[in-house]
Structure formats: C-alpha cells, structure tokens
Amino acid sequence: MKKILNYIDGEFTAPIQNNWIENFNPSKGEVYGHIPNSTKEDVEKAYQAAQKAFPSWSTTTLNQRHTILSKIALLIEENLENLAQAEALDNGKPLSLAKTIDIPRASSNFKFFANAITQFSSEAHESIGKDAINITLRESIGVVACISPWNLPLYLFTWKIAPAIAAGNCVVAKPSEITPMTAFLLGEICNKAGLPNGVLNIVHGLGSITGQAIIEHPNIKAISFTGGTSTGAHIARIAAPLFKKLSLELGGKNPNIIFSDCDYDEMLETTVRSSFANQGQICLCGSRIFVEATIFEKFKKDFVKKVSALKVGDPFCSKTDIGALVSKTHLEKVKSYIDSTGEETGKLLFGGKKVNVENNENGYFLQPTIIEVYDNKCRLNQEEIFGPLVTIMPFNTEEEVVQMANDVKYGLSATLWTNNLNRTMKLTKQLHSGIVWVNTWLLRDLRTPFGGKKASGVGREGGNEALRFFTEPKNICIKY
C-alpha cells in the first residue's frame, strides 16, 4: 500500500492526528493507498511554515525565482514516465493522455511562469502639470491558497502554484483528495530543485475538513480555486467577510456549434475529442452539440460510427482511448443521468452502459454516450454532468442556436465550426462565455486569459492575469 504524506516546510510528515483516508485505483475499483486526513492543526502548521518563508522568498531576485522554477519544470520533464504512471493509476485516465497532455503541461506551467515573471512590469503615471509621478508596484500578497480538482490533477495544481510562487508568495495547497498522488511527488521535485523550505506546502485531506480550514484561515489572503460551482459559491461566502482575494474557475456546460459550411472531417475528429477526451471530465468539453439541420442526419450517423470505434479499456493499455471514471460515486452520478432520460427527453443513440474490462472487472468504466435531445431546457442540457456523455440537437438559424447556447447558467467556453467570417465575428461576440474556439478546441496559449462568465467563475487566470491575481498593486505618488 502506498502512503502519501503532507509536504510542510520542505519535509514529508504524517498528519498530526494520525488519521488517514483510503485512496482508490479507479480502474481496479480497489484501495491502493492512504492519504492524510489533515485537520486544522496541519493547515496551521503549513501556514506557519509559509509565513516564516515569506520575507525571504518575496525578496529573492527574479533571476533566482526564474532559475528555481525552470529547474522544477526540467525535473517534471525528466520524471515524465513516473509522473504519468502515477496520474493514470490515481485518476483512471489513459497513460498516453497523461504522457502527452497532463505532465508536459505541468512542466510548461513552471517554464511559462519562470519566464513570465521576468517580463512582468510595474507601471508609472506622470501627473503632468502637477509635478508628480505615480509608480504602481505589484507586490506579492503573502501566504496564498491553491485548491484544485481531480480531473487534471498535476496540470491544474501547477497552473496555480507556478504563478503564485513566481510572484513571490508562499503557498498552502490542497489537491483533490481523490487524486493526490502527483501532488505528493511534486514535493520531492521542489526539494531537488532547491525551492526553499516553506515556499510551497501541500496538505492532503477532505475538502470539508482540510479545504475548509484553509479557506477559513484569517491570514491566508488569497484563494485560487478550481472546482465545482457549488463549492465555489461556498468558498465565496466564507471568504467575503474575511476580505480575501478570490479566483474561481468553476463548472461548464459548453456548446459546440456546428454549421454546414465548416471543414467537416476536421470538425468530426475534433468533436470526438472535445466530447470524450479524459472521459469527458474536462471543464471545457463541448457537452452540448448543436448541429445545423441540413447536416444533422449525416453528422449523427458519422459521429456515432466514430464514437463506437473508441476503445474503453485499461488506462495502461496503449490502445485505450477512454479510461476509467475517477470514482464510483462519479460513475453512478453520470449513469443516473443516462438512466433517468425518458422518451420525452431524448433518444439514446449510443452507449449508456458500464463496460466490463478484462482484469479490471471492478473498475469504473462507462461507454461514451450520445443522446439526441429535443429541448435545450432538459436537465441533460442544463446541468453539468462532467462525464462521457454528450447531447446533440439540430438548429435552423443563427439566432436560434445562439439563444440555446446562451440559455444555461454556465459560461465557460464555446466552440464554433464555420468558414463564414461574418458569422464568426457576429456569433463569437454574441456567445456568453469566457473563451470561444473557432474551428478548433482546447488550443491553448498560456499568455491568454482563461476563465468563465456567469456560474463558471470569477476572475481570469493565465499569463499576466494570473500574475496580477497573485500580486497587489501599491501606488506611490512622488511630488517633485
């Protein structure tokens, strides 16, 4: 059995109360390790370590920070195989995906912010005619929190930690209790890279206990959180009277809008990915597919054919396209949406059943599922399901599809497939989402702002937006 420890002040330690939680392997459906069930005392210990490290870390030169972050990036790259194996085991995702997406991106996050911090500038405003100049500094905040979900464990964990420490803060971080393994391995990498003790502290445990202690801590001044919308709302309620700075990256129910004038083959390939990559457990997946009526029947046939060829299987098998869902609870949640779909709501076009994978009989495997729905107001189109389930619906006009795309409480991302420039410009402006992809999906440039509107969150991460979040402006006005 593997045992994960907290990483506090550069050391690996057991939780103070010596309580542990079981950690499951989703493809086997069995316990394979234990993680700390950390309490308020462990969070306090992590806070103290961070607080102690702050004066020194916040005054290290940008060059020193650049060197250490670059070293972390390099060590992640060198440990790619080991980290990818750990991610696939812990999360159930195909090893091939962890190797090509999750772990390389974790390394890129550190590489990107190692460089970005050296380019991040202060501002000056000359008050002309008043003989004064204003210098606006961007100061590090102090001790900040980074809380991340289970779907892209190391990828999202490092997406928060890298800018936080690059900007001179010290961090108390909590990965999801469901996928703690790669966060644990990151501690060792940080030590090897020479990150000073206490700059990053990783506390494992339940959201309701460990997470709660972090968000309630009066001296943790900013929280960067990625997770569900209801958890985000809870955090906002706790944080507001404590005047904490918040960045909330929350759920999505993203439209994928397909016009008949698109490049059909490319659209089809990409739509299979945007529907089912990572078992559909990506906040950016296009879970509501709207297809122009003139190509609806053709699309339905071609899409079902492609999706039925996807191989659901052991994450460690190189032929696997779709691995296990992350937990039994999550599998049951997704399945309950499928099972409760009545004839009046929609028609199951493909999938819907659990899959029995050889040698992994107790694993949480589910077929990729396509349901044709009749009304955008149905539960399947309004609630975030976050699994391998997409709905499809025809539309006739631009107005109709924009109305349906926007008629949902979320506003994270949207995808548009068309080769008509006027339509592109018109619709991208009309769609209520933080991100719009045209003729592509999940093409990321780390300099761009990332985040959602409406119930998909508050604030933006990425590039300078993240460095702005993790710093506070101070204006100094000098009269001369």
Q: Which is nearer to ligand NDP, 91 or 418 (CB)?
A: 91
Q: How far is the CB of 190 from ligand NDP (least distance, A)?
A: 19
Q: Which one of 283, 292, 378, 384 is the catalytic residue? A: 283
Query: Which residues, 354 to 373, sit near ligand NDP by CB under 6 A?
Result: none
What x-and-dash track marks residues 231-260 binding ligand NDP by CB under 6 A? Answer: x--xx-------------xxxx--------
Q: Which is nearer to ligand NDP, 317 or 458 (by Cβ)?
A: 458
Side-chain half-sphere CA neighbours of 417 within 13 A: 26
Maximum CA pair distance of the chain? 79
Q: Which residues contact 357 (CB under 8 A, 6 or more apart)?
A: 27, 312, 313, 314, 363, 365
- Of the candidates 177, 292, 321, 465, which one interacts with ligand NDP according to CB under 6 A? 177
How many amino acids of this chain bind ligand NDP (CB under 6 A)? 32
Closest CA relative to residue 198, chosen from 88, 60, 84, 48? 48
* Using rule CB under 6 A, residue 384 touches ligand NDP: yes
Smallest separation (angstroms) from ligand NDP to the CB of 184: 14
- Interacting residues with ligand NDP between 433 and 452 (CB under 6 A): 452
Q: Which contiguous run of DSSP H or E holds residue 102?
A: none
Name the residue nearer to ligand NDP (CB basis): 91 or 226: 226
The set of residues, in sequence order, having a beta carbon less than 8 Å from that of 438 and lying 6+ positions away, is 415, 416, 417, 418, 424, 428
Q: Which of 140, 151, 158, 360 binds ligand NDP (CB under 6 A)?
A: 151
Among the candidate windows 36-44, 174-182, 186-194, 296-304, which touches ligand NDP by CB under 6 A?
Answer: 174-182
Tokens at 120, concatenated: 């991040």
- Annotation says 283 is catalytic: yes
Residue 26 interacts with ligand NDP (CB under 6 A)?
no
> Dihedral (C-alpha) 67, 70, 74, 77: value to the nearest 10 degrees?
170
Give CA–CA dist 99/82, Å, rounded.
Answer: 10
- The residue with tokens 């397909």 is 258
178 near ligand NDP, rule: CB under 6 A: yes
**Which CB sits closer to ligand NDP, 175 or 368?**
175
- Can residue 91 be called a binding residue for ligand NDP (CB under 6 A)? no
Q: Give 208 or 340: the residue with its C-beta nearer to ligand NDP.
A: 208
Report the residue number, 52 or 453, with the smaller CB distance to ligand NDP: 453
- Whether 249 sits among the annotated catalytic residues: the reply is yes
Binding of residue 322 to ligand NDP (CB under 6 A):
no
Kindly indicate which of the ranges 134-142, 173-181, 255-263, 371-379 contains the residues binding ligand NDP, using the contact rule CB under 6 A.
173-181
The tokens describing 190, both together, are 């940080």
Containing 47, the helix (H) or strand (E) segment is helix 40-57
Give me the helix-helix angle, 62-78 and 103-119, nearest 10°. Answer: 170
Question: Do residues 144 and 219 make contact, with C-beta atoms less than 8 angstroms apart?
Answer: no
Amino acid at 6: N
The 3-state DSSP class for residue 459 equals coil
Strand order from edge to edge, sheet including 413-417: 346-350, 369-373, 389-395, 288-292, 255-258, 413-417, 435-438
Which residue bears the tokens 């992590």?
46
Which residue, 381, 280, 369, 371, is CA-closest to 326? 280
**Nearer of residues 87 and 292 to ligand NDP, judged by Cβ:** 87
Do 135 and 165 contact (CB within 8 A), yes or no?
no
Q: What three-state secondary structure class fits 457?
A: strand
Site string for ligand NDP, 268-297 (x = CB under 6 A): ---------------x--------------
Q: How many angstroms separate the CA atoms of 315 and 304, rounded?
A: 23
Which region, judged by CB under 6 A, interacts with ligand NDP, from 161-169, 176-184, 299-307, 359-367?
176-184
- 249, 384, 461, 465: the active-site residue: 249
For ligand NDP, the closer CB: 173 or 307 = 173
Which of 27, 79, 176, 256 contacts ligand NDP by CB under 6 A?
176
- Residues 130-149 touching ligand NDP, rule: CB under 6 A, are 147-149
Return the active site residues.
249, 283
Where do contacts with ligand NDP occur on this chain (CB under 6 A)?
A: 147-151, 174, 176-178, 206-208, 211-212, 215, 226-228, 231, 234-235, 249-252, 283, 384, 386, 412, 452, 456-457
